[in-house]
Amino acid sequence: MIISGMAEKLWETLEKILIDNGRGFISVTGGGGKTTFLVSFSSFLKNRGYSVLMTTSTKLASPYSFDYKADHVFLSPDILSYWPGKGESVFYGEYNDRLGKTVAPPESIVSLLYERYDVIIVESDGSRRLPLKIHTERDPVIWPPTTSVVSIAGLWAYGKRVEDTVFGDDRTGIYVDKSYFDYLSSTPQGMRKGMKRDTKNVFLFNGGDVVEDRVREEIKSIRLPIQGRGFIVSLNEDKIYESL
């Protein structure tokens, strides 16, 4: 394990991987910290001088009830009349009164906005607050402009029952262990779904700060099945514990 004082900073590392010539369209999938990633990485990039748009291709908590730390919030196509400045973050979605949530705006508008923003970060998946996700044919919703896919899994599911921790896997009598994380990272409906050969692909195993050393050592041995980078991290601490 990397000693705390020597730990590599997560957001700095991801900037180097995910941002190409000052640009990036990042889709975030999985469970276990997607919204934390959305807000924290956006805030980091904003402070680095990028103009950043946060949005969703599925559903998100309403900005009326959750602070996305954005400089401006748009819940209508009025966003088309706004031009962001450098070092500015903007949240965009459509508000659904019945659900009380932000839902996906038209992909065509988001694609147009990519001409105005340096970086767009899209929460592209839902997991009902569970740390792990097995996908269906309908998700994740990866929009065509995507240049990078970040898939997140929560390590705090380790040792717990699948039916209690994995959205999309209703099997009983199975516990989340190293072999399950192997399965999650290799199955076509697992963490790698939505990743392509021409996208920058990152696997984040979040919760390195809340699991034992032995768990990190087991996860470190996972062999990722697609071209990409894997890290055991703490999104809350901006810290990389191990590289896969």
Q: Please, are residues 155 and 232 in contact by the beta-carbon 8 Å criterion?
A: yes
Q: What residue type is assigned to position 127 of the chain?
A: S
What pLDDT, on a 0 to 100 scale, did the predictor assign at position 7?
56
- In the structure, what pLDDT confidence band is assigned to residue 115 with cuts at 50, 70 and 90? very high
CATH among 2.60.40, 3.40.390, 2.60.120, 3.40.50 for 7-243: 3.40.50
Looking up tokens 């340096």 gives: 118
Residue 133 φ/ψ, nearest 5 degrees: -145, 130
Report the pLDDT averaged over residues 48-53: 98
Query: Is the pLDDT assigned to residue 230 strictly greater than 50?
Result: yes
Question: What is the per-residue pLDDT across 203-225, written as a single tens digit (0 to 9) for each?
Answer: 999 999 999 999 999 999 998 98
Encoded tokens for 33: 């910290």
Distances (CA, A) of 174 to 72, 155, 211: 45, 16, 20
pTM for the model:
0.95
Q: How is the chain split into domains, by residue range?
A: 7-243
* H or E segment and range at residue 218: helix 213-220
Question: What is the per-residue pLDDT across 51-98, written as a single tens digit (0 to 9) for each?
Answer: 999 999 999 999 999 999 999 999 999 999 999 999 999 999 999 999
Q: How far apart are CA 219 and CA 140, in angstroms?
A: 24
